[in-house]
């Protein structure tokens, strides 16, 4: 099967969307499918306001048309609602080509955290964007219920996974954390207002707070919390070693749609402390792999007593193979007759261009 995935978020960005799409594309290829990721790489872009790591492609319509006509996909999935996602949506709508979308980010809540944008306005736009899709993929049952309440329809569950070959318990602690006061309470992710980091960092708790990641709030957080250890982004084995050395993983976000970092922490044997909101509610087994509580300090203290080996076993149920099977099940195949029509159109365009060049000669 030839699968086109359009995304405004792609490498070298570090976020859950990129991790999810990269892992899914690799799993699809391992199954024998041919995947074309249509991303902003190589295009003229501008930085996304308040999230400069994401590059927004300028006028990508012609590029999208060339890519899709050349690739001739059997199914098209639009992962993000940015300029590339809009261009692919426009291409498909104009040609009556079916497509699917996914809802990775709670943009209404993110926008409201930064600017006075009413939730109803943002949700109305998103309903229109996703309403044209055959199905919209969501990462959890909690998110599905929330979007249903906002008037979304044709939702399909597409859960997430964790790379168990990489994220695993470590025999030796990270040398950079040796001698630090215990417990070590770790956060991994973007440092931005929607992550609600103040709810964690302002807590008066014994031990060491460790923040792994970067983002627009880093300078302000450094100034407010000088006793917190900020490492910046870390990758590969170093990230795993830092994470596995922690005693508890703290996930203070109230707006994430899933929270891949929680799965990565569990796979390293680290229990999770979080608020009882969508994302944690769908990942954490209360009192077994983590503690969800309105009082985050209480959740942290309780999570420290949980069995780390149970956390590892729980994470093993979240595989990218299982997640990719759900992805495949939700795709909407482009009918053969329509694919043939698009191929004829492309051939006609090529013939017309050749004829025009001959006339010029």
pLDDT at 343: 60
- The single residue listed with the structure tokens 């982004």 is 233
pLDDT at 116: 83
pLDDT at 185: 98
Domains in the chain, CATH or no CATH each: 2-161+321-356 (3.40.50.2000), 175-315 (3.40.50.2000)
Q: Distance between CA atoms of 10 and 22, rounded to whole angstroms?
A: 8
Alpha helices in 185-335 (DSSP H): 198-201, 218-224, 236-245, 260-267, 280-283, 296-303, 308-315, 320-330
pTM across the whole model: 0.90
Q: Distance between CA atoms of 73 and 39, rounded to whole angstroms?
A: 16
User: Taking the chain (361 residues) in consecutive chunks of 10 residues, what is each chunk's mean pLDDT?
Assistant: 96 92 98 97 89 88 94 97 97 96 90 85 96 97 95 97 95 91 97 95 98 96 98 95 98 94 98 96 97 98 98 96 98 87 56 58 56
Q: Distance between CA atoms of 206 and 18, rounded to whole angstroms?
A: 35
Closest CA to 327 of 32, 133, 100: 100
Look at strands 272-274 and 290-292 and give their pairing: parallel
pLDDT at 54: 82
């Amino acid at each position: 099967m030839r699968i086109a995935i359009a995304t405004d978020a792609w490498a070298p960005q570090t976020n859950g969307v990129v991790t999810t799409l990269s892992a899914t594309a690799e799993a699809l290829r391992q199954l024998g499918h041919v995947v074309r990721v249509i991303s902003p790489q190589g295009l003229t872009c501008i930085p996304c306001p308040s999230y400069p790591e994401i590059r927004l492609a300028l006028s990508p319509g012609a590029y999208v048309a060339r890519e899709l006509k050349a690739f001739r996909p059997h199914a098209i999935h639009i992962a993000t609602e940015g300029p590339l996602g809009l261009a692919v949506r426009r291409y498909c709508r104009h040609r009556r080509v079916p497509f699917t979308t996914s809802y990775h980010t709670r943009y209404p809540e993110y926008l409201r955290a930064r600017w006075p944008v009413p939730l109803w306005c943002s949700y109305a736009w998103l309903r229109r964007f996703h309403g044209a899709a055959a199905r919209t993929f969501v990462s959890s049952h909690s998110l599905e219920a929330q979007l249903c309440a906002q008037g979304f329809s044709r939702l399909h569950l597409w859960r997430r996974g964790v790379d168990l070959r990489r994220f695993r318990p470590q025999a030796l602690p990270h040398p950079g954390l040796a001698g630090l006061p215990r417990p070590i309470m770790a956060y991994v992710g973007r440092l931005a207002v929607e992550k609600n980091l103040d709810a964690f960092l302002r807590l008066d708790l014994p031990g060491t707070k460790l923040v792994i990641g970067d983002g627009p709030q880093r300078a302000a957080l450094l100034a407010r919390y000088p006793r917190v250890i900020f490492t910046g982004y870390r990758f590969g084995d170093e990230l795993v070693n830092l994470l596995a050395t922690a005693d508890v993983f703290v996930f203070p976000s109230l707006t994430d749609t899933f929270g891949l970092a929680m799965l990565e922490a569990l796979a390293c044997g680290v229990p999770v402390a979080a608020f009882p909101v969508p994302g944690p509610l769908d990942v954490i087994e209360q009192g077994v792999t983590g503690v969800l509580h309105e009082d985050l300090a209480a959740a942290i203290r309780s999570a420290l007593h949980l069995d780390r080996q149970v956390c590892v076993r729980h994470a093993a149920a979240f595989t990218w193979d299982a997640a990719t099977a759900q992805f495949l099940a939700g795709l909407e195949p482009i009918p053969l007759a329509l694919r043939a029509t698009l191929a004829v159109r492309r051939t006609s365009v090529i013939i017309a261009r050749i004829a025009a060049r001959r006339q010029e000669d």
